[in-house]
Amino acid sequence: MSYEIATIPGDGIGPEVVEATLPLFEEVAESHGVEVEFTEYDWGSDRYLDEGAMMPDDALDRLEKSDAILLGAVGHPEVPDHVTLHGLLLPIRKEFNQQVCERPSILFEGVESPLAGYEGGDVDFVVFRENTEGEYSDVGGREHVGFDHEIAIQTSVFTRQGTEAILRAAFEAAQEREGHLTSITKSNAQAYSMVFWDELVEEVREDYPDVEVESLLVDAASMDFIRRPEEFDVVVASNLFGDILTDIGAIVTGSMGLAPSGNVNRSGEYPSMFEPVHGSAPDITGEGVANPIATVLSGAMLFENVGEEGVSEDLWEVVREVLADDSAPTPPDLGGSAGTEEMVDALSERL
């Protein structure tokens, strides 16, 4: 088999982690008789500062031909956030109908949690986050600007189609895992969107009678990710709630440097995009110390998505081994001093 993978290294540490990990992906793929061809797109904030756009006009057409996309990071101190995001990340998620954002939170053996009393192996859950609508809908406006009676409105749009898509993805994952699903809501305060969400959960669960469903308010869930993260299996949440909860999940499982994610188009009509949850980290850019593991695991999710489970499993396995091994190099975000290349070498050695 042979795959065309589009890479968008992007900003800050994005290019560092993507460039360092591509050879590892090739190596593992080759060992499974799988060929990968990477096409790099140097889009991002530098392009914006030079040419006034994060991506060219035909960007999505070009990406569409690939089997999957690997993104490094976007975000630049000199470019406003809404430009970097609305100019690249959010249009790809939206135009490629990547409705399902999948983010595992695993406390690996050998990794310390900021939570007292937790040890590697204690936490392993996955959040399914709705990825193209909800609280991120581009609907709203301002009126009476500058006057005392000025207002701003921001409207969340939840479609049955979009909500069902994320719920079904989560239910299916729960069936393959421990059979436990936690649905995040705030229906006590948001009587339209979240009551709709709750009703769809009740409808959709009929098709998955073997899955046990728990409902949790987003504020309680934020506490429980800290208080009892070991009890979660699959969590399903709206765009905003998923955004917040996956960052909490990344921190309680040790570091943003380990958290991968997939933006998945369920129909296969468009490519899916995989990216580390961490940002462009301008403070450490250029120092060669960025932890490449979140990108390696995003690659593992990518290979699973295109159907190469073997490649995927090997990538997960070498990460597990390196983190568990006391004598292996440790990146700065986990208290060590190993640079990006040294970490990739350590992973590669274990193949």
Ligand X SMILES: CC(C)[C@H](C(=O)O)[C@@H](O)C(=O)O
Residue 224: active-site member: no
Minimum gap (Å) between residue 35 Cβ and its own copies: 37
Residue 78 phi/psi, 5° resolution? -95, 5
| Catalytic option among 11, 41, 186, 333 | 186
Joined together, the tokens standing for residue 101 give: 């954002």
Sheet-wide strand order for 2-10: 35-40, 2-10, 68-73, 272-276, 260-264, 100-106, 124-130, 234-237, 180-185, 212-217
Q: Contact, 133 vs 157, CB < 8 A?
A: yes
Q: Contact, 181 vs 236, CB < 8 A?
A: yes
Minimum gap (Å) between residue 266 Cβ and ligand X: 18
Which residue's CB is nearer to ligand X, number 243 or number 321?
243
User: How many residues form the binding site for its own copies (CB under 8 A)?
Assistant: 64
Q: Which does 187 bind (CB under 5 to 8 A by kind): ligand X, its own copies, none?
A: its own copies
Q: What is the x/- site pattern for ligand X, positions 191-220, by CB under 6 A?
A: ----------------------------x-
Which residue's CB is nearer to ligand X, number 243 or number 304?
243
Q: Is residue 283 at the binding interface for its own copies, with CB under 8 A as the rule?
A: no
Among 49, 151, 157, 189, interactor with ligand X by CB under 6 A:
189
Which residues within the stretch 46-105 sit at the binding site for ligand X (CB under 6 A)? 85
Residue 243: active-site member: yes
Q: Is residue 152 at the binding interface for its own copies, with CB under 8 A as the rule?
A: yes
Dihedral of the alpha carbons of 164, 169, 174, 177, in degrees to the nearest 10 = 180
Joined together, the tokens standing for residue 116 give: 């007292």
DSSP code of 337? -
Among 27, 35, 160, 341, interactor with its own copies by CB under 8 A:
160
Q: Contact, 115 vs 254, CB < 8 A?
A: no
Catalog residues that contact ligand X under the rule CB under 6 A. Answer: 85, 188-189, 219, 243
Residues marked active site are found at: 136, 186, 219, 243, 247
